[in-house]
Amino acid sequence: MAHKISFFLLFLAILATLQLIAALDYTVQNPAATTPGGIRFTNDIGVNHTIKTLSTATAFIWKTFQQNTDADKKKVARVGVFIDDMDGVAYAMNDNIHVSAKYIKGFSGDVKTEITGVLYHEMTHVWQWNGKGHAPGGLIEGDCGFREAGYAPRHWVQPGQGNRWDQGYDVTARFLDYCNGLRSCFIADLNKKMRDGYSDKFFVDLLGKTVDQLWTEYKAKH
C-alpha cells in the first residue's frame, strides 16, 4: 500500500510539473528569415523543434536546480526566441533569447544539435538566480545545464584547465562539477543562495572551504 501511495504522489508531482511547463508560452520569431542563416534555421532547425527544446530544457533546468514549486522559480510567463542577423552566438535578456543567424549560417557541423545546446545554455540564464546582479559574470556563464544534458561542445577544456574559478563557460562549469562531487546538489544549493544576493562565503557555507581553497585543490587533483 505504501508503494502505491508513493507512486501516486510521484505521479502527481510529475503531472504538476508538466502542467506548469504547459502553462508557459513559448514563441519563436525569425526576423532574419531572408538571410542565409535565417533560411538555414527554417530548413534545418525549425520553429517546432525550437519550442520543444525550450520545453524540455525548462524541465531539465528545474530538476537540476531543484525548483520544484512556484515559490522556487522566477515569475516567467513567456519565453521568446528571436533569430537575429547579428554577430556572436546568442544571449538571453528579459526572458527573451536572441540567436545569431550569422552563427547558424557559418556553423559547419550538425547545426540542429548545436543550437539545441545553445538554447539549453540560454534557458539556464532565464531560470537561474544571479544574486540580484551581484554574482560574478563568469559564475553565471559557467552553468552546467547543457553539459549535463549532453550538449557540451567538443572544444571545451579538460577538467583542471583554466586560470580562475570564475573564468566562465567551460572552465567554471568543470569547477562547479567538481564542487558538486563534494556535496550532492551543490549547484542547486548555490543557485538557491543566489536568489537574494551573492557572496563568496556561500562556498564556505556549503563546502566548509573558501572558493580559492577549493580552486587550488581542484587544480591539484588534475
Burial class (CB in 10 A: 0-12, 13-18, 19+), 132: exposed
pLDDT at 153: 72
How large a percentage of the chain has pLDDT more than 70? 86
pLDDT at 146: 55
- State the pLDDT confidence band at 73, using cuts at 50, 70 and 90: very high
Would you say residue 196 has pLDDT above 50? yes
pLDDT at 14: 45
Task: Report the mean per-residue pLDDT for the chain.
Answer: 89
The structure's pTM equals 0.86
- Residue from 192, 212, 216, 196 nearest 204 by CA: 212
Would you say residue 16 has pLDDT above 90? no
Residues 173-190: pLDDT tens digits? 999 999 999 999 999 999
> In 3-state terms, the chain is what percent helix, strand and coil (to 5)?
60, 10, 35
19 vs 33, residue with greater confidence: 33
Q: How far is CA 46 from the centre of its chain?
A: 21
pLDDT at 155: 79
Dihedral angle computed from the Cα positions of residues 139, 180, 73 and 192, in that order, rounded to the nearest 10 degrees: -70
Residues 78-92: pLDDT tens digits? 999 999 999 999 999
DSSP 72: G
175 with 215: CB under 8 angstroms?
yes
Count the neighbouring beta carbons within 10 Å of the beta carbon of residue 218: 20
CA distance 48 to 61: 20
CA distance 105 to 121: 20
Residues 114-143: pLDDT tens digits? 999 999 999 999 999 999 999 999 999 996
Question: Rounded to 5 degrees, what are φ and ψ at 123?
Answer: -65, -30
Would you say residue 48 has pLDDT above 50? yes
Q: How far is CA 50 from the centre of its chain?
A: 15
116 with 53: CB under 8 angstroms?
yes
